[in-house]
């Protein structure tokens, strides 16, 4: 089973994702340079975190024009699982593979710390091993994670059960104080209409092994393995 | 342009130094050459006031692969790997323009590390600010933190630890010291050498602009109060995205064997890189400055040579591999241009538009810069302290709360949550502990990293203060189970032309040297920052130490947090009747008073060996260095970190305030399973380390009693809330400007 990891100039979690896939999951990992169009036989695609193009202009705004994104779009339309983490989520929004946009965090600062997330839907290839409604702890690290979309789009996301993760407190309650960036409706991650493209601001790649104090993110990658095996 | 005495003086060169230039050249320099001499012989680049003293540092050891003199020091960590590390100051620029000053400081230290062939894996920073209520200070703190974050986060290099101190002595001159460590294969280390006549000299990275011209010279002068806005054009502007590309391109290039030598264009830009690379190799270079990629039109050779534009490197490659080198940089969309060739003439010859604009011998500029034995005279002794005669406070709990809420002791997550401290997925111990721990992927090992210095101790006694900085870093690292390997340093002082400052410097260097010898660890890299003065007022001597320790097995690490209800707590080391230099005196009494606590380096070493021994046998649940705020604060920190209270009874023969808040050196608080009590007491006795049993862990309160005296008895959640919120509240309490 092969995960292809897209590398933009300025990606900086590409190696973290590679480590998870290869060392912790025991799957194949392949880097795909942004100028390439061949996804190298990917079974799943990861768009990792970082600062693609330095986040200049707007996070993800330049990366969407990279040649590789056309291939990722095609892969997604054919139902291939695509996971965008942090900057990868921002790129997916800019590329139109997921709806909505990111604003700068409401307190205008970069924030790196643990947050709690409620798994809103286990019906995606990246969350099928989590119990719906369960609470997981996961780190964030971003400047622009304040998710927004027009109310009609937000309503549609909710109606179609496409809000996959919501910020919450450790007991699972969604409250303003537990929202680290001001995201609309405490949305931390969403999926596409076909549910195969998932984007989230928190970093499952940073909490996938006990040595780092938390392995609750590993299930996200394991979910993809079981989803692909079930196909 | 005619070389007049005014022009010479304007280049910060003395008449004597100019005489020496005439001697070396046997003729008058031209304007370009004068500029080059000025930069190379600036204090910042030449270490002319410090060099004599720095020779005292122990710099060798069985693990040392590269000592001082290169871009960074390199130490063997086993498994065929090595750690490259260094610390640098960016004090003056950060005071003038906090964001860019701090950001480019990070950019500079990262380049130092990856030029060695290492992938940077963790940064620390050591920050000294003025009082939060001083003019501009909140703006400066905010800018510095954002600058470090902006650069490091974008580069994807985690900032895993550091220290921050506030004191009015830094109101006019803050300190920004940044540290980075990288991992490199021990047999693939790259050096700054221009070897092999005929090999191409290649310029890579950002284009050259007019920013930062004479930055090195600026760092070699004092400030007058009104100069900060005039000096702003001397500060460089950083572009972390370009540096990220440069990092990846260089590491891709290093995997080939095309590179002969490489050097960062840091202070004094193209000047220092060309002269130092040729100087080290005993070769020469010939460069055509018209080929240097320029950001602006009409730049003169003088400006090109002295620009400190960021994110640039100079490299020498094998002549038959040039196309491959250029292709890698093209892939990363970076400029890479052959601008000259290595020669065997021993001279740096510069051309511009077909005309020769400079012709200088390489080695004399790089290695034979003036060396000064500047006069030294220790400052007069301060008046005797008042604390020994003072009555004891009536409420020790209130004292503890005030100290925990002070800017120096309170928790600094407001700062470190702005830093990405997790990228790279190596951060085993996050900021806030004794030393940061980062694992080394592909091995069972981890590095323990710590920056340390107590400037208040150094102000009272620079020798002891500097020795304590090394000892405290070693203690913090040993608490985690890491064995101290080596240090880098960043020596921040006032104007070396003043005898009292020079005396401080000499004493501090001696203190670091003696402490390093006591621990048997070398100094492998470092940096000196003089002229930290504004309006004639010098900062306290601040010799920051950056230490790297090694855990052979990351699973044997120990953290500072109390871990288990029912565990026993003990104090290792000797408590003396000392309050000098303490946070208690500063916060509760409002005074800076001595004397500096004593330091017993042999006892410090014994304590560290014991801590390592106990960690290796998995005997400890927690270990925490006793430092700022003394024993009561150390106990509170371990309790708050573990969210576990404790019931403590401190036996002691010194006054209660010293027992609780004195900052006697050489101590650590440890906790362990109750069954281990005898074993640990015996091993401490065998190691010659005093041990006092303090009590047990458990309950929702932190209670610290001493005989019949009124105990400290605090609700741990309240204490934690106070400690965690105090700094955030004080920094956010007023408008930033």
Q: Report the 10 Å Cβ neighbour count for B642.
A: 22
Whole-model pTM: value is: 0.95
Question: Across the interface, do B418 and A110 touch by the CB < 8 Å criterion?
Answer: yes
Angle between helices B601-616 and B499-519 (to 10 degrees): 40
How many domains does chain A divide into?
1
Interval A74-98 mean pLDDT = 97
Cβ of residue A16 closer than 8 Å to a chain B Cβ: yes
- Please give the mean pLDDT across all residues of chain B: 94
Distance from CA of A27 to the nearest CA of B (A): 17
B contact residues 434-473, partner A, Cβ 8 Å cutoff: 439, 441
pLDDT per position as a tens digit, B235-287: 778 899 999 999 999 999 999 999 999 999 988 899 999 999 999 999 999 99
Question: Across the interface, do B418 and A53 touch by the CB < 8 Å criterion?
Answer: no
Q: Residue B40: which residues within 8 A CB-CB, separation 6 or more?
A: B46, B268, B271, B272, B275, B365, B366, B369
Q: Residue B155: which residues within 8 A CB-CB, separation 6 or more?
A: A12, B106, B110, B120, B240, B243, B244, B247
Q: Look at residue B733 in the predicted model and tell me its pLDDT.
A: 78
| DSSP letter for each residue of chain A | -EEEEEE-TTB-SHHHHHHIIIIIS--EEEEEETT-----S-SEEEE--B-GGGG-SSTTTTGGGSTHHHHHHHHHHTT--EEEETHHHHHHHHTTSS--EEE--TTSS-EEEEEEEEE----STTTTTSPTT-EEEEEEEES--EEE--HHHHHHHHHTT-EEEEEE-TTS---GGG-SS--GGGEEEEE-TTS-EEEESS-GGGSSBGGGTB-TTHHHHHHHHHHHHH-
pLDDT per position as a tens digit, B395-408: 999 999 999 999 99
DSSP 8-state symbol, B223: B
pLDDT per position as a tens digit, B617-648: 999 999 999 999 999 999 999 999 999 999 99
Interval A156-185 mean pLDDT = 97
Asked whether the predicted pLDDT for residue B649 surpasses 90, the reply is yes
Q: Which residues of A touch B150 (CB under 8 A)?
A: 110
> Distance between CA B122 and CA B162 in Å, rounded?
11
Residue of A nearest to B424 (CA): A16
* Nearest neighbour of B417 by CB, restricted to A113, A206, A209: A113
Interval A79-89 mean pLDDT = 97
Interval B202-207 mean pLDDT = 94
Q: Look at residue B737 in the predicted model and tell me its pLDDT.
A: 44
* Nearest neighbour of B418 by CB, restricted to A9, A109, A205: A109
ipTM of this complex: 0.96
Cβ of residue B428 closer than 8 Å to a chain A Cβ: yes
Closest listed residue to residue A83, CA positions, set A207, A209, A200, A210 = A200
> Distance between CA B229 and CA B209 in Å, rounded?
20
Cβ of residue A177 closer than 8 Å to a chain B Cβ: no
The model's confidence at residue B143, banded by pLDDT at 50, 70 and 90, is very high
Question: Across the interface, do B240 and A15 touch by the CB < 8 Å criterion?
Answer: no
Asked whether the predicted pLDDT for residue A129 surpasses 80, the reply is yes
Asked whether the predicted pLDDT for residue B219 surpasses 80, the reply is no
Q: What percentage of chain B carries pLDDT values higher than 90?
A: 87
Count of alpha carbons within 13 angstroms of residue B530, beta-carbon side: 25
* Nearest neighbour of A112 by CB, restricted to B146, B154, B422: B422
Selected catalytic residue, list B11, B90, B167, B214: B90
pLDDT per position as a tens digit, B675-701: 999 999 999 999 999 999 999 999 999
Cβ of residue A55 closer than 8 Å to a chain B Cβ: yes
Residue B95, class by beta-carbon neighbours within 10 Å (0-12 exposed, 13-18 middle, 19+ buried)? buried
* Nearest neighbour of B333 by CB, restricted to A9, A51, A112: A9
Range of the domain at A168: 2-230
Residue A136 belongs to a domain with what CATH number?
3.40.50.880
Angle between helices B462-479 and B499-519 (to 10 degrees): 30
Residue of B nearest to A141 (CA): B420
């Amino acid at each position: 089973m092969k995960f292809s990891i897209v590398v933009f100039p300025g990606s900086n979690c590409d190696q973290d994702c590679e480590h998870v896939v290869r060392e912790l999951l025991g799957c194949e990992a392949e880097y795909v340079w942004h100028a390439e169009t061949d996804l190298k036989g990917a079974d799943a695609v990861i768009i990792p975190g970082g600062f693609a193009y330095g986040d200049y202009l707007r996070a993800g705004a330049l990366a969407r024009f990279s040649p590789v994104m056309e291939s990722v779009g095609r892969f997604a339309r054919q139902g291939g699982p695509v996971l965008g983490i942090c900057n990868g989520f921002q790129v997916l929004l800019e590329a139109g593979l997921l709806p909505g946009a990111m604003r700068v965090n409401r307190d205008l600062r970069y924030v790196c710390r643990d947050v709690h997330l409620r798994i809103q839907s286990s019906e995606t290839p990246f969350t099928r091993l989590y119990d719906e409604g369960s609470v997981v702890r996961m780190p964030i690290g971003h400047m622009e994670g304040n998710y927004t979309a027009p109310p009609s789009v937000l309503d549609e996301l909710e109606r179609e059960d496409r809000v996959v993760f919501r910020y919450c407190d450790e007991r699972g309650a969604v409250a303003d104080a537990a929202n680290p960036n001001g995201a609309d409706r405490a949305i931390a991650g969403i999926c596409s209409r076909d549910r195969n493209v998932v984007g989230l601001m928190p970093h499952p790649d940073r909490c996938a092994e006990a040595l780092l104090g938390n392995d609750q993110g590993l299930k996200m990658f394991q979910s993809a393995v079981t989803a692909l095996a079930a196909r | 342009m005619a070389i007049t005495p005014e022009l010479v003086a304007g280049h910060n060169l003395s008449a004597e130094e100019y005489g020496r230039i005439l001697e070396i050249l046997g003729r008058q320099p031209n304007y370009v050459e004068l500029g080059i001499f000025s930069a190379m012989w600036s204090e910042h680049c030449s270490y002319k006031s410090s060099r004599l003293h720095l020779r005292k540092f122990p710099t060798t050891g069985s693990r040392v692969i590269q000592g001082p003199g290169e871009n960074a020091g390199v130490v063997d960590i086993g498994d065929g790997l090595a750690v490259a590390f260094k610390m640098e100051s960016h004090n003056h620029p950060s005071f003038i323009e906090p964001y860019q000053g701090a950001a480019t400081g990070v950019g500079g230290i990262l380049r130092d590390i990856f030029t060695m062939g290492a992938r940077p894996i963790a940064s620390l920073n050591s920050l000294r600010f003025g009082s939060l209520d001083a003019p501009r200070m909140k703006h400066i703190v905010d800018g510095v933190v954002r600058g470090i974050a902006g650069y490091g986060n974008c580069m994807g290099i985690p900032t895993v630890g550091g220290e921050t101190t506030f004191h009015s002595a830094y109101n006019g001159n803050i300190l920004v010291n940044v540290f980075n460590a990288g991992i490199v294969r021990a047999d693939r280390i790259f050096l700054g050498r221009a070897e092999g006549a005929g090999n191409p000299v290649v310029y890579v990275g950002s284009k050259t602009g007019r920013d930062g011209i004479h930055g090195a010279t600026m760092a070699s002068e004092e400030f007058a109060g009104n100069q900060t806005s005039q000096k702003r054009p001397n500060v460089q502007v950083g572009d972390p995205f370009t540096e990220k590309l440069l990092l990846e391109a260089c590491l891709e290039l290093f995997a080939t064997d095309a590179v002969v030598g490489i050097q960062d264009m840091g202070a004094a830009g193209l000047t220092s890189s060309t002269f130092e690379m040729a100087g080290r190799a005993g070769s020469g270079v010939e460069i055509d400055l018209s080929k240097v990629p320029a950001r602006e039109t009409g730049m003169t050779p003088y400006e090109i040579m002295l620009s400190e534009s960021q994110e640039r490197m100079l490299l020498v490659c094998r002549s038959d591999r040039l196309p491959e080198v250029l292709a890698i940089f093209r892939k990363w969309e970076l400029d890479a241009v052959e601008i000259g060739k290595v020669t065997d003439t021993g001279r740096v010859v510069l051309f511009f538009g077909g005309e020769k604009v400079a012709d200088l011998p390489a080695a004399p500029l790089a290695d034979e810069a003036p060396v000064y034995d500047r006069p030294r005279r220790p400052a007069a002794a301060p008046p005797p302290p008042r604390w020994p005669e003072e009555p004891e406070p009536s409420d020790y709990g209130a004292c503890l709360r005030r100290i925990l809420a002070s800017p120096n002791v309170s928790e600094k997550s407001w700062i470190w949550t702005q830093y990405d401290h997790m990228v790279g997925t190596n951060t085993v111990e996050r900021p806030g502990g004794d030393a940061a721990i980062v694992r080394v992927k592909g091995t069972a090992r981890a590095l323990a990293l710590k920056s340390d210095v107590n400037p208040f101790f150094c102000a009272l006694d620079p020798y002891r203060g500097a020795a304590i900085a090394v000892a405290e870093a070693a203690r913090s690292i040993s608490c985690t189970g890491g064995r101290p390997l080596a240090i880098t340093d960043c020596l921040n002082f006032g104007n070396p032309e003043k005898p009292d400052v020079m005396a401080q410097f000499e004493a501090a260097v001696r203190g670091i040297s003696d402490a390093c010898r006591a621990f048997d660890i070398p100094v492998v890299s470092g940096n000196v920052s003089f002229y930290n003065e504004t309006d004639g007022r010098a900062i306290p001597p601040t010799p920051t130490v950056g230490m790297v320790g090694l855990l052979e097995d990351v699973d044997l690490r120990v953290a500072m947090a109390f871990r288990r209800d029912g565990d026993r707590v003990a104090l290792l080391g000797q408590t003396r009747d000392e309050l000098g230099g303490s946070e208690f005196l500063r916060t509760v009494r409002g005074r800076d008073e001595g004397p500096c606590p004593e330091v017993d380096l042999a006892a410090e070493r014994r304590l560290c060996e014991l801590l390592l021994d106990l960690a290796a046998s998995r005997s400890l649940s927690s270990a925490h260095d006793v430092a700022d705020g003394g024993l009561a604060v150390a106990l509170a920190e371990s309790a708050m970190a573990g969210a576990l209270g404790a019931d403590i009874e401190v036996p002691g023969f010194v006054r209660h305030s010293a027992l609780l808040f004195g900052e006697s050196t050489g101590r650590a608080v440890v906790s362990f399973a109750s069954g281990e009590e005898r074993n640990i007491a015996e091993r401490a006795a065998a190691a010659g380390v005093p041990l006092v049993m303090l009590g047990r862990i458990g309950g929702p309160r932190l209670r610290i009693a001493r005989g019949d005296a009124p105990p400290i008895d605090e609700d741990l959640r309240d204490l934690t809330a106070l400690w965690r919120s105090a700094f955030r509240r004080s920094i956010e309490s007023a408008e930033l400007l």
